[in-house]
């Protein structure tokens, strides 16, 4: 069965998208079959991996992205998946094994215009369609916006695990706190739609520090985060094995450059070939490896 994992924090700009895209790429490089679902209207992960031209076509068509499974509702998730999404300049497959559920700007309509059937909330439609295709994957990853509105709920409801990207600052801690509060409200609201086959409702399993500048002391931030996490564990609001990842991702120019090039860092950086070196590519590889190990404890 696929591990279904959401990356979310109530704070924007902490690195949710860059962490999930680069971790997904490392998992695919390891030979895992990965489906990345972009659940953020801003479409950052989709634009990154499809590159602007391909994404523009889907955006202009108004169909073929996530919102079309809800409205007009003819498409199924399996129809919109972009297999082996990463291409090189010649259009050849550059990273087999990484598929994408793309999103375009019309996903914003899910939050307001979409009415649907109250007996079949959007997250249930999404979960059921995902269940039809997830056997093909080892990992299904959800890139969420910094909220638990409808689009995000699709990921939260379908996921069994949550990881929280964080920066070493007070705002990330506040974002984490808000997330856990809202998460349990949503779980209570959606409980009647859960079935045993879905597995447990998603709990926070880990916190991953991102964008660490050289020379910054992050120990105090880490300690505060650890204290909060311990409180949640005691209150059974975080998984018993939840932890701050040993792996953390440094701040590096190449991460921003990778976005412009439309490739994950592991395909951009000349440093990628040396798996023993101390560099940002290997930071992502370590995050991916720790994510795999965290699954052994589930």
Are 22 and 265 spatial neighbours (Cβ–Cβ below 8 Å)?
A: yes
Phi, psi of 62 (to 5 degrees): 75, -5
Q: How far apart are CA 79 and CA 234, in angstroms?
A: 43
Q: How far apart are CA 66 and CA 102, in angstroms?
A: 6
Are 144 and 10 spatial neighbours (Cβ–Cβ below 8 Å)?
A: no
Q: How far apart are CA 8 and CA 58, in angstroms?
A: 25
Which one of residues 17, 127, 210, 294 is an interface residue with Mg ion (CB under 5 A)?
17
Which one of residues 93, 120, 256, 293 is an interface residue with ligand ADP (CB under 6 A)?
256
Q: Bin 198: left if φ > 0, else alpha if -120 < ψ < 50, else beta.
A: alpha
18 binds ligand ADP, rule: CB under 6 A:
yes
Q: Which stretch binds ligand ADP (CB under 6 A): 14-22, 152-160, 173-181, 220-228?
A: 14-22
Q: Of 12 and 64, which CB lies nearer to ligand ADP in the complex structure?
A: 12
14 binds ligand ADP, rule: CB under 6 A:
yes
Q: Of 36 and 201, which CB lies nearer to ligand ADP in the complex structure?
A: 36
Q: Which stretch binds ligand ADP (CB under 6 A): 92-100, 172-180, 246-254, 270-278?
A: 246-254
Residue 255 site contact among Mg ion, ligand ADP, none (CB < 5 to 8 Å, cut-off depends on kind):
ligand ADP
Report in angstroms the alpha-carbon separations of 31 from 65, 137, 229: 26, 11, 32
User: Binders of ligand ADP among 179-238, rule CB under 6 A?
Assistant: 210-211
Q: Is 161 helix (H, G, I), strand (E, B) or coil?
A: strand
Instruction: Using CB atoms within 10 Å of the CB of residue 143, give its burial: 0 to 12 exposed, 13 to 18 middle, 19+ buried.
Output: buried
Site string for Mg ion, 40-69 (x = CB under 5 A): ----x-------------------------
252 binds ligand ADP, rule: CB under 6 A:
yes
Binding site for Mg ion (CB under 5 A): 16-17, 44
Binding site for ligand ADP (CB under 6 A): 12-18, 44, 210-211, 249, 251-252, 255-256, 259
């Amino acid at each position: 069965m696929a591990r279904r994992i959401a990356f979310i924090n109530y704070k924007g700009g902490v690195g949710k998208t860059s962490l999930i895209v680069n971790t997904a790429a490392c998992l695919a490089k390891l030979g895992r079959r990965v489906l990345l679902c972009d659940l953020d209207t801003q479409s950052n992960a989709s634009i990154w991996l499809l590159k602007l031209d391909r994404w523009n076509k889907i955006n202009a068509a108004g169909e073929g992205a996530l919102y079309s499974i809800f409205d007009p509702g003819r498409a199924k998730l399996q129809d919109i998946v972009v297999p082996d999404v990463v291409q090189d300049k010649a259009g050849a497959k550059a990273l087999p094994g990484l598929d994408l559920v793309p999103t375009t700007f019309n996903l914003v309509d899910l939050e307001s215009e979409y009415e649907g059937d109250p007996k079949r909330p959007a997250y249930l439609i999404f979960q059921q369609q995902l269940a039809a295709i997830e056997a093909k994957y080892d990992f299904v990853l959800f890139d969420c916006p910094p909220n638990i509105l409808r689009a995000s709920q699709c990921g939260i409801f379908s996921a069994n695990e949550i990881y929280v990207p964080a920066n070493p600052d007070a705002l990330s801690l506040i974002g984490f706190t808000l997330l856990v509060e809202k998460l349990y409200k949503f779980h209570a609201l959606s409980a009647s739609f859960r079935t045993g086959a879905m597995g447990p409702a998603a709990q926070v399993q880990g916190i991953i520090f991102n964008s660490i500048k050289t020379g910054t002391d992050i120990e105090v931030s880490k300690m505060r985060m650890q204290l909060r996490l311990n409180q949640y564990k005691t209150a059974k609001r975080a998984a018993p094995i939840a932890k701050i990842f040993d792996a953390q991702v440094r701040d590096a120019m190449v991460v921003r450059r990778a976005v412009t090039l439309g490739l994950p860092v592991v395909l951009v950086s000349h440093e990628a070939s040396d798996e023993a070196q101390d560099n940002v590519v290997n930071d992502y590889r370590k995050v991916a490896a720790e994510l795999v190990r965290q699954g052994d404890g589930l």
